[in-house]
């Protein structure tokens, strides 16, 4: 079966992007800083809203909302990966060649994926409490009042189809 991506102008998407051979190249603050700079650089030329993100040692998840007249998330990911690869020391590929995307269907789907993103460090046993993970947009969402102060201590209920790793 041939996989077909869904491109929707102004679409909201959940993404999973994985490092090559699942190497933990994103485990150090310097690498996370390079990735953040890559996002900033790409967003200046190809705008999108970065609604949520979590960066783990060997993969990341995020939600983007594209501009109303634009559906080209593939170019954006190519540019983010390329910028990171050019500025991150080391040899060989940094990323798996593809990424996984899911077009967010409605507010409930958005909320489930937001929870999945923010609870992911606990799922992978990197921390005991989601608030302890430094490379996440959880704190931002808590300040906005989207999450209560004690969120992330226990696992949110998520259907098995949410997320992809």
Give the active site residues: 135
Q: What is the DSSP letter of 144?
A: T
Structural tokens at position 8: 């929707």
| CA–CA dist 146, 111 (Å, integer) | 10
Q: How far apart are the C-alpha atoms of 24 and 28, rounded to whole Å?
A: 9
The encoded tokens of residue 20 equal 């090559």
Give the distance from CA 42 to its chain's centroid. Answer: 15
Give Cα separations from 117 to 50, 55, 74, 94 (angstroms).
Answer: 13, 9, 20, 22
Which H or E run includes 139?
helix 138-143
């Amino acid at each position: 079966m041939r996989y077909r991506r869904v491109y929707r102008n102004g679409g909201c998407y959940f993404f999973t992007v994985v490092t090559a051979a699942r190497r933990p190249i994103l485990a150090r603050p310097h690498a996370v800083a390079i990735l953040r700079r890559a996002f900033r650089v790409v967003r200046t030329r190809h705008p999108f809203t970065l609604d949520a993100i979590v960066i783990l040692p060997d993969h990341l998840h995020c939600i983007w909302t594209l501009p109303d007249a634009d559906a080209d998330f593939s170019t954006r990911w190519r540019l983010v990966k390329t910028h990171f690869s050019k500025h991150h020391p080391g040899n060989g590929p940094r990323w798996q060649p593809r990424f996984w995307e899911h077009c967010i269907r409605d507010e409930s789907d958005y909320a489930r994926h937001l929870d999945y993103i923010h609870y992911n460090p606990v799922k992978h046993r990197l921390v005991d409490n989601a608030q302890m993970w430094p490379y996440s947009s959880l704190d931002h969402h808590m300040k906005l009042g989207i999450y209560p102060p004690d969120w992330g201590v226990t696992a949110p209920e998520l259907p098995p189809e949410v997320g992809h790793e």
